[in-house]
Amino acid sequence: MTAEIHLAGLDLAATTVAEPHRLRLEAGTKDADPATCTYDLAKSEGGGYAVNTEDAGCNITYRRATAKGTSRTLKAYLTWRVSWAEGDSPDGTPRHGMPQGESTQEVAVTVKEIQSINRD
């Protein structure tokens, strides 16, 4: 985001950049293993950010199904690196670091039971 002032022959601008860098998930129940996982985010080729949970050392597994018509509340916390620089361009090296920011989102998760029979 860029803020600009053009007044009385004065041209000032500052640009703030926030980039996501960490995702933390909380399962929302003691019936999950582990109860929380943290992932580092990487910039993907499409310009967005992604996490590879398949190869991660941590993935949440729910051990018990939810009752019919109910759900668990999964909480996702996204940590942002925030910086700013003089000028009107978000490109280049940020020159002034700011405290990290965090956004939170809650997601309803329904866990269904799968039954199977294993025979030798």
- 3-class DSSP state of 4: strand
First to last CA, the chain: 62
Quick: pLDDT tens for 29-53. Answer: 999 999 999 998 888 888 788 887 7
**Comparison of pLDDT for 15 and 108, the residue scoring more:** 108
Mean pLDDT of 90-115: 84
Mean pLDDT of 56-80: 90
pLDDT of residue 50: 84
Residues 6+ away with beta carbon under 8 Å from 63: 31, 32, 33
Cα–Cα nearest to 18, from 82, 103, 91: 82
Mean pLDDT of 73-96: 82
pLDDT of residue 23: 93
Mean pLDDT of 96-109: 91
Q: Say if CB 23 and CB 51 are below 8 A apart.
A: yes
Residues 6+ away with beta carbon under 8 Å from 10: none
